[in-house]
Chains A and B, each alone.
Chain A
Amino acid sequence: MRKVAVVGVGQTKFSGAQEKTSVELFAESAMDALSEANLKPKDIQALFLGNCLGDFTEGQGMVQAFAADNIGAFGIPANRYDGACASASMAIRDAFHWVASGFYDVVLAGGVERAATMGTSLATRTFAMFSDSRYEYPCGITFPGVFALLAHLYSAKYGIPLAKLKEQMAITSVQSHRYGMLNPKAHFHKEITMEMALGSLMVAQPLQLYDCCPFSDGAAAVVLTSEEKAKKLTNQLVYIIGVGQASSGPLANQQEYLPRLRAREISSKQAYEMAGLTPQDIDVCELHDCFSIASLIAAESLGFFDFGQAGEAWEKGEAAIGGKIAVNPSGGLKAKGHPIGATGAAQVYEIVRQLRGECGERQVEGAKIGMTDTLGGDGGTLCNLILQRG
């Protein structure tokens, strides 16, 4: 297997409902990524695109074929990925394997979603489609509901009184919003306080409004090439050195592991082993904070903090820029936004720019190794990528 480099990245500014189509949003991010890479659309050999709900949002299926044609990558093979919120990561992981194997030299991967354009009511219905439609949806499960169930279980399992856990959860959101202020591409540019978080609308007990990431519109794209080609295109070399992916059944089927999500532990282990690294080697991580509690659960399963201890780590600043591991310097899904088909690519966008030293006020000093972590559904799809500065 040969080494795979990320030679260009692009991302639209994530936002609430806006009027550019999914193809238009992806096209903008793709052209930015290609331009960074000093490549042209005709150089792309395949397109792997994450998009979960375009059918419901715009009545647009098979968006990847239209996207390829739209940017002038005429006739190339184009695949669509649906792993719920992990879609774009799956797309990038696949692109990695095709380039590593030698079958392709240049692949464009990424994702797009207009989750905000759908409106809360339809978005809540369609996001619930990532749970089991026969055995969970009749109960009225919603995506916040899944993590609300995990939050109470987490409190009981680790003996953390719920009120204390809710404060720890709120800290993750407050921190994300602070970093979002420093990210021009973020959906939200506003700070929040613990008081605002704990006083906000109850969505699914115990998760309140500021425990939940927003519905967002946006797209992100990355260009992967072989190491040999990358060295001819750019001086700023960033390599993908480890990848992992795993799946899971509905929540009830995961009873032996909850509130841990087994798929993440399988997936991240694959990525660490491929990279020959441990959690202690990671300088910066964009992890899946779809809900505040999800940050704590993710950080523990990724090996950054002991089980039941992540909340305390956030309280002590150990998950901040300058702490033990910088978590979500982009503002995370919480403040940067979460257009679900695009999120995995936006995480890679941030990690690549961190490893290049381009992140200004939110730069993690000396970042050499970064990791991304995306989760779809009830932990149904989990994907992890590890990147290293060349």
Chain B
Amino acid sequence: MEYKLTFKEYNEALKKNKLLGLKCNSCAAITVPPKMVCRKCASPDMDIVELSGKGKIETFTTVYVAAEGREVEAPYIIVLVELDEGPWIMGNLIDIDPSRVTMELIGRRVKMGHKVFCGDKYSAGDGARPLFSFET
């Protein structure tokens, strides 16, 4: 059985600011990040769709203690965003000083760009991730 939307394809699209997901032909749920099967009903019968990249912040944190090799990035904000199409996705947030994050971030609407993690010796290559900024 062929894997419909691999990390490689997802990653390449995200580097062009395109957020790809999978729409289930059984239950219509959108699955992102991509999996072998639908995140809700586990059907493998899905089609690739492009998502808006827009949503609202569900939760956040500012990371001060970074992993080996990524110290220069700190401090940075990680968010979980509920996309308008339904699924949650993890990304980073810009447009606000990381040391000034408050609970008021929760519920703010965001739109998506991307940023590439160039990888390290453990990562088998690079990986793009959503980079969110405020919609208005």
Contacts and interface: CB of A to CB of B under 8 A. Distances in A.
A136 B123 CA distance: 12
Given A141-B78, A148-B61, A152-B60, A255 B66 contact: no
B127 A251 contact: no
Nearest to A147: B61
Nearest to A151: B61
User: Which of A128, A149, A249 counts the most chain B CB atoms within 10 A?
Assistant: A149
Contacts of B23: none
A162 interface: yes
Nearest to A161: B103
Given A204-B62, A253-B39, A255-B88, A139 B129 contact: yes
A331 B123 CA distance: 36
Given A139-B91, A255-B87, A153 B58 contact: yes
Interface stretch (A14-22, A99-107, A118-126, A304-312): A118-126
A140 B127 contact: no
A134 B33 contact: yes
A142 B90 contact: no
B59 A156 contact: yes
Interface string A320-337: 000000000000000000
B106 interface: yes
Contacts of A125: 67-69, 120, 122
B33 A142 contact: no
Contacts of B103: 152, 155-156, 162
B89 interface: yes
Nearest to B102: A162
Contacts of B96: none
A202 to B, nearest CB: 5
B33 A137 contact: no
Contacts of B78: 139-141, 145, 149
Interface in B97-113: 101, 103, 106
Given A135-B90, A251-B90, A140 B65 contact: no
A191 to B, nearest CB: 24
Contacts of A148: 61, 63
A290 to B, nearest CB: 15
A2 B102 CA distance: 54
B51 interface: no
Nearest to B71: A121
Interface string B1-34: 0000001000100000000000000000000010
A205 interface: yes
Contact of A138 (B87, B88, B106, B117): B117
A144 interface: yes
A141 B62 CA distance: 10
A141 B103 CA distance: 19
A149 B63 contact: no
Interface in B61-94: 61-71, 73, 76, 78, 80, 82, 87-92
Contacts of A70: none
Given A142-B65, A156-B103, A255-B87, A149 B60 contact: yes
Contacts of B122: 125, 129
User: Which of B58, B69, B106 counts the most chain A CB atoms within 10 A?
Assistant: B58
A203 interface: yes
A133 interface: yes
Contacts of A140: 63, 66-67, 70, 73, 76, 78, 92, 117
B128 interface: yes
Interface of A: 120-122, 124-125, 128-129, 132-142, 144-145, 148-153, 155-156, 162, 201-207, 249-253, 255, 258
27 contacts: A121-B71, A124-B65, A125-B69, A125-B122, A129-B122, A134-B7, A134-B127, A135-B90, A135-B127, A135-B129, A137-B127, A138-B129, A139-B92, A140-B63, A140-B76, A141-B78, A145-B63, A149-B78, A152-B59, A152-B60, A155-B103, A156-B59, A205-B60, A206-B61, A251-B90, A252-B80, A253-B39
